[in-house]
Amino acid sequence: MPAERVQKIIAAAGITSRRKAEELISSGRVQVNGKVVTELGTKADSEQDHIRVDGKLLRGPERHTYIVLNKPKGYVTTVSDPEKRPTVMDLVRGAKARVYPVGRLDWASEGLLVLTNDGVVSGWDNREDRNPMFYELSLRQMQQEGVPSDHIQVAPGQAIGTYDESLIIREFAVEHRLHRLLIVTSGYHSRRALWSLRRACEGSGIEVGVDSAPPGWQTPSPWVWWSKRRGWKLVAGEYVKMIYYWTKY
């Protein structure tokens, strides 16, 4: 099996998130073949090398778990909620695996919901480490704008949230010696995306800029922003998330 970054192996084993795995490595709590590693770029082979976290040997990728839940009203379909509302994760606290909801039912809805640690089922293709739907849409859009296919690269890794995505982008940029990054994202999401990436890239010497995608599927028009309830909710939600990010990261 090809060598992978140690933090990715730890996350795949279900020990913690990739960001927390980086903190474990930096604090000297991870060993590879008996030697403490503190460099985030350290790679290992999960099948050949002995990796320990706080002295405990990793047992390889975690087994897939599938939970079918009859979601009641009054729970948000998310892993964590900045507004501290009850989430569907509160209903599966007894699960031994770190699972994530597949799809979404809103606060007032009830019905069938699946939670799993299987990346393929939850929308991620573990073999290619990407979200198939958004990958295909982004690829098609860039090709339509004239970007050659061989100039498009996919940063490997899986993330839960914008800050985790930023850490993956930073790793990719450092590994490929990129010094400037331009993030193109949804208009309502641009401020949080810029803050997250700048925070993740602190001390790396990487310059970061941001631009908004044109109005369309992911970016509402200005008319929607200020005349529709959806626009106000998106903007208000982003400010709540920004406060959450400032306090957590």
Positions annotated as catalytic residues are: 106
Strands 207-212 and 180-185: parallel
| Displacement of CA 97 from its chain's centroid (Å) | 18
Please give the structure tokens belonging to residue 94.
Answer: 């007894």
- From the CB of residue 117, how many other CB atoms can be counted at a distance below 10 Å? 20
147 to 140, 144, 169: CA distances (angstroms): 10, 7, 20
For residue 169 the two structure tokens come to 């982008």
Q: CB neighbours (10 Å) of residue 225?
A: 17
